[in-house]
């Protein structure tokens, strides 16, 4: 079976040609649906970032020549659980069956199935309950409906856990009782630093692509800067190309709105996206899409495409 056979499930031929091209992909598009030809925000347009440009190429180790392909993928979803996010969580949940179908259909070069792990945490770093997504902990509650029998003793889901879309949807439906001070970047960092000693122990695998997905409608209030977060991900995964991400949030400047939902600007999250550009390759494995959409079909599709292309072009660890 062609290892790209899964892609028609989620993207058209034009998206596939763009994702697999040798050109450097744009990482941000305006809320008009993501047309890079009309409203790029990386070329000094009306929403261009006026902040400093950060360069990390002196901190990155040199990868060995050539590319490999990951056979494993560890994906962390950071979901805003503040009072305004009920509708957005429903939109995200609607995509889980399609997302799991895509991951299940992925085949490696050797024809084997993708060994993936899925975990959910919240944007609330004040809540102390780790099993409910506080402080970067992966959600396992309520155990009676969100925890499959095969997942006993671990805080993430795997393809062998049965009805993964249902269990995952249960975990990602965090509700709207979380802190109004959203800190998705801090939650992400805590999930692979502080929490690897307890709630999320053994989640991150050295030989897997690490991917994250952030969903929020407010500016990030984290203490970790985007630049510090990129450096920590580089340290954790050793090479920039061994991690990827997708951010669904407000625009770089100015608010946006859709039916029944509005979002504030999120310049800090845009700095995270922009700063993830790999100076060694000129490519960026982190994308942004607007949260102000009637549904998140395209956003989730683009996230999965980004993750799978990164998986297919995984750089080897430094020698």
pLDDT, one tens digit per residue, over 231-249 is 999 999 999 999 999 999 9
> Domain range holding 197?
67-312
Closest C-alpha to 103, from 20, 13, 213: 213
Strands 261-263 and 256-258: antiparallel
Tell me what pLDDT residue 68 has.
79
Does the residue 302 lie in any domain?
yes
Say which residues have a Cβ less than 8 Å from residue 237's Cβ, sequence separation at least 6.
210, 243
With beta carbons less than 8 A apart as the criterion, state whether 105 and 98 touch. no
Beta bridge mates, 245:
212, 286
Tell me the C-alpha distance between 289 and 29, whole Å: 7
Tell me the C-alpha distance between 304 and 281, whole Å: 21
Residue spans of alpha helices (H) in the chain = 13-19, 86-93, 96-105, 143-146, 164-172, 184-192, 226-237, 267-275, 297-312
What is the maximum alpha-carbon separation in the chain? Answer: 52
Tell me what pLDDT residue 3 has.
43
**124 has a pLDDT exceeding 90:** yes
pLDDT, one tens digit per residue, over 211-233 is 999 999 999 999 999 999 999 99
Does the residue 34 lie in any domain?
no
With beta carbons less than 8 A apart as the criterion, state whether 217 and 291 touch. yes
Task: Find the mean pLDDT for residues 184-194.
Answer: 98
**48 has a pLDDT exceeding 90:** no
Task: Provide the 3-class DSSP secondary structure of residue 2.
Answer: coil
Does the residue 11 lie in any domain?
no
Torsion of Cα atoms, 120 then 108 then 288 then 214, to 10°: 10
Tell me what pLDDT residue 19 has.
38
Does the residue 28 lie in any domain?
no
With beta carbons less than 8 A apart as the criterion, state whether 195 and 233 touch. no
Tell me what percent of the residues of the chain surpass a pLDDT of 90: 70
Does the residue 55 lie in any domain?
no
* pTM exceeds cut of 0.95: no
Supply the CATH number for residue 102's domain.
3.40.50.410
Backbone angles phi, psi at 74, to 5 degrees: -110, 115
Backbone angles phi, psi at 287, to 5 degrees: -120, 160
DSSP tag of 79: E
Higher pLDDT: 60 or 104? It is 104
Does the residue 23 lie in any domain?
no
Residue 5: exposed, middle, or buried by beta-carbon count in 10 A (0-12, 13-18, 19+)? exposed
Does the residue 17 lie in any domain?
no
Does the residue 13 lie in any domain?
no
Q: What is the mean pLDDT of the chain?
A: 83
Number of domains into which the chain is organized:
1
Beta bridge mates, 257:
262
Tell me what pLDDT residue 144 has.
85
**12 has a pLDDT exceeding 70:** no
With beta carbons less than 8 A apart as the criterion, state whether 78 and 213 touch. yes
Least confidently predicted of 5-9, 67-71, 277-281: 5-9
**297 has a pLDDT exceeding 80:** yes
Tell me what pLDDT residue 66 has.
61
Count of beta carbons in the 10 Å neighbourhood of residue 172? 23
| Cα-based angle 271, 274, 278 (whole degrees, multiple of 5) | 135
Tell me what pLDDT residue 151 has.
80
């Amino acid at each position: 079976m062609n290892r790209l056979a899964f892609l028609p499930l989620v993207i058209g031929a034009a998206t596939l040609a763009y994702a697999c091209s040798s050109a450097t992909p744009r990482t941000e598009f305006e809320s008009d649906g993501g047309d890079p030809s009309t409203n790029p925000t990386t070329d000094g347009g009306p929403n261009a970032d006026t902040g400093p440009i950060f360069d990390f190429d002196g901190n990155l180790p040199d990868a060995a020549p050539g590319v490999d392909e990951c056979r494993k993928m560890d994906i962390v979803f950071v979901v805003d659980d503040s009072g305004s996010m009920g509708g957005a969580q429903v939109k995200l949940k609607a995509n889980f069956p399609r997302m799991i179908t895509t991951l299940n259909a992925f085949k490696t070069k050797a024809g084997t199935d993708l060994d993936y792990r899925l975990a959910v945490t919240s944007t609330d770093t004040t809540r102390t309950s780790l099993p409910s997504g506080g402080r970067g902990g992966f959600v396992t509650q309520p155990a009676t409906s969100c925890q499959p029998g095969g997942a006993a003793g671990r805080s993430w889901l795997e393809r062998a856990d049965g009805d993964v879309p249902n269990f995952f949807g249960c975990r990602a439906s965090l509700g709207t009782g979380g802190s109004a001070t959203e800190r998705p970047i801090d939650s992400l960092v805590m999930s692979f630093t502080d929490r690897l000693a307890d709630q999320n122990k053994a989640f991150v695998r050295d030989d897997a692509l690490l991917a994250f997905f952030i969903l929020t409608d407010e500016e990030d209030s984290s203490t970790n800067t985007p630049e510090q977060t990129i450096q920590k991900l580089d340290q954790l995964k050793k090479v920039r190309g061994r991690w990827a991400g997708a951010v669904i949030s407000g625009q770089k400047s100015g608010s946006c709105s859709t039916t029944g939902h509005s979002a504030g600007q999120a310049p800090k999250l845009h700095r995270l996206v922009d700063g993830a550009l790999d100076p060694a390759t000129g490519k960026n494995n982190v994308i942004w899409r607007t949260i102000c959409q009637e549904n998140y079909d395209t956003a989730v599709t683009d996230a999965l495409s980004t993750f799978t292309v990164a998986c297919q072009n995984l750089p080897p660890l430094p020698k």
